[in-house]
Amino acid sequence: MNATALADLSADDLAALLEEQRAAYDDLKARGLKLDLTRGKPSSQQLDLADDLLRLPTSTKDASGTDVRNYGGLQGLQELREMFAELLWVDADQVVAGGNSSLSMMRDCLVWMMLFGAVDSERPWGREEKVRFVCPVPGYDRHFTLLESLGIEMLTVPMREDGPDAEAVAALVADDPSIKGMWIVPTYANPTGAICSQEVAARLAAMPTAAPDFKIFWDNAYALHHLTADEAKSADILTLASAAGHPDRPIMFASTSKISYAGAGVAFIAASAGNVSWYLAHLGTGSIGPDKVNQLRHAEFFGSAQGVRDHMVKHREIIAPKFAEVDRVLSERLGGRGVATWNTPTGGYFVNLDVVPGTASRVVALAKEAGIALTPAGSSFPYKRDPDDTNIRLAPTMPPLEEVTAAMEGVATCVLLAAAEKAAAA
Ligand SMILES: Cc1ncc(COP(=O)(O)O)c(C=O)c1O
């Protein structure tokens, strides 16, 4: 659609557009919608795909003959670790299969690092005067909340299409020993959909850091969550770091939250032998073993790594049309207006929408008043502060397709209205 950019409209045309959008917004409010695009959750249709889990496992013993109903097996079921090692391009020995949340595993790692130090720390991080983390932005809100809860200061770097701005990261970490780590969502990042290239990963794996115990929290939550047939392969961070002489730098996290059940999946870490021993030593003080029954039913359900890949194609068939719909509505309603840019992700769970700077909070407030819940503006930034008030994260997987359409029509109206208001006030 060849609409005119707001910046090119005459004052009269702008006033007319503002009136038109106000009327459209009143109509929107009158519809009494109740729609939610806030969180990246699977829809019930996606969850249904894994319902055979409810009838598994058929056995009480794992492949080695161990009774999964009993205590033990802290590192997790060997056959499930082998399956996910293949999918994450690591060795089974490097993998720990845990409980139902990778975020909890990240939290455990951070808490243990603060209390006891990492495997290569001279002292607990908590004894340092200050602990800081590099956070590519926009990023995952829960990463930031977790750091904030532990009093870890956050420094931002831009997230680019090929991953974090590696030069900016390298410049920060080179001389500042208080910078102990960084986050990366390497594949189909939350929320930008970016894919960290092998080159960027290699730079981060090899860069000199003033902190000898610098850690990369490599959160590969969307490693297998392709939206197209062109399946991105994540960079080999463990191999790259090991080759660069920093085997203990990365810790990889993943889970089946958006593969099987979001509340009852299995989470994993993958890391060097040193990190795995460190992790298990701390884990063992508070656990006699994971839920192996759940791990076994996952192993039986998928059967093999290929079984997981095949399962992900079924997810793709359900959610790819919702992402296409977001793009269609935004393109038709906002294309050419110069009021927004957005990505068309090839995987993951989010669309990253950038609206006219200074209007993101207004858009979210307008949408809320019209019954469309959006993630609060600023959520994808540390301390919830988007310096440009421009970024909005859209999560289209959970609502049915018709609701995605209705919600996006509404969002487009709010984006245009907020932009027209700002232009008219200028
Ligand atoms: C980047 C990222 N990491 C981790 C999680 C949560 O993972 P889990 O369910 O394994 O705790 C999410 C969920 O939205 C996410 O987007």
Task: Report pLDDT digits (tens) over 167-211.
Answer: 999 999 999 999 999 999 999 999 999 999 999 999 999 999 999
Same domain? For 110 and 253 the reply is yes
Q: What is the pLDDT of residues 396-414, one digit of tens each?
A: 999 999 999 999 999 999 9
Task: Check whether 129 has a pLDDT greater than 60.
Answer: yes
pLDDT at 393: 97
* Structural domain includes residue 124: yes
Instruction: Determine the average pLDDT of the residues in 270-286.
Output: 98
Distances 348 to 12, 40, 177, 259, 307 between C-alpha atoms, Å: 42, 9, 33, 12, 19
Instruction: Determine the average pLDDT of the residues in 62-89.
Output: 97
Task: Check whether 3 has a pLDDT greater than 90.
Answer: no
Tell me the HSE value of 419 on the side-chain side, using a 13 A CA sphere.
24
Residues 333 and 416 sit within 8 Å (Cβ to Cβ): yes
Same domain? For 86 and 183 the reply is yes
Q: Count of domains in the chain?
A: 2
Nearest CA to ligand 1 atom 6: 103
Cβ count within 10 A of residue 152: 23
Rounded Cα gap, residues 89 and 394, in angstroms:
30
Task: Check whether 379 has a pLDDT greater than 60.
Answer: yes
pLDDT at 426: 83
pLDDT at 266: 98
Question: Token pair of 407, please?
Answer: 């919600």
Burial class (CB in 10 A: 0-12, 13-18, 19+), 175: exposed
Helix then strand count (H, E) for the chain reads 13, 13
Same domain? For 297 and 390 the reply is no
Same domain? For 253 and 324 the reply is no
For residue 102, the CA-to-ligand 1 centroid distance in Å is 7
The separation between CA 287 and the C-alpha centre of its own chain, rounded to angstroms, equals 27
Where a domain ends, among 246, 277, 303?
303
Task: Check whether 1 has a pLDDT greater than 60.
Answer: no
Domain CATH for 36:
3.90.1150.10
Instruction: Determine the average pLDDT of the residues in 54-70.
Output: 97
Same domain? For 69 and 147 the reply is yes
Rounded Cα gap, residues 183 and 275, in angstroms:
17
Q: What is the pLDDT of residues 305-354, one digit of tens each?
A: 999 999 999 999 999 999 999 999 999 999 999 999 999 999 999 999 99
Q: Which of 88, 196, 219 has the most ligand 1 atoms within 8 A of CB, as the residue to mutate?
A: 219
Say yes or no: CB of residue 185 within 6 Å of ligand 1.
yes
Same domain? For 228 and 366 the reply is no
Range of the domain at 35: 6-46+309-425
Distances 135 to 112, 172, 264, 387 between C-alpha atoms, Å: 20, 11, 28, 14
* Structural domain includes residue 55: no
Burial class (CB in 10 A: 0-12, 13-18, 19+), 285: exposed
Q: How far apart are the first and last CA of the chain?
A: 26
- Locate the ligand 1 atom nearest the alpha carbon of residue 185 and give its number: 1
Where a domain ends, among 254, 274, 303?
303
- Preceding peptide of 138 cis, ω within 30°: yes
Instruction: Determine the average pLDDT of the residues in 113-134.
Output: 98
Same domain? For 236 and 362 the reply is no
pLDDT at 39: 84
Q: Which of 96, 100, 110, 142 has the most ligand 1 atoms within 8 A of CB, as the residue to mutate?
A: 142
Closest CA to 31 of 407, 417, 415: 407
Q: How confident is the model at residue 2 (pLDDT cuts 50, 70, 90)?
A: low
Q: What is the mean pLDDT of the chain?
A: 97
Say yes or no: CB of residue 134 within 6 Å of ligand 1.
no
Same domain? For 284 and 355 the reply is no
Where a domain ends, among 303, 337, 368?
303
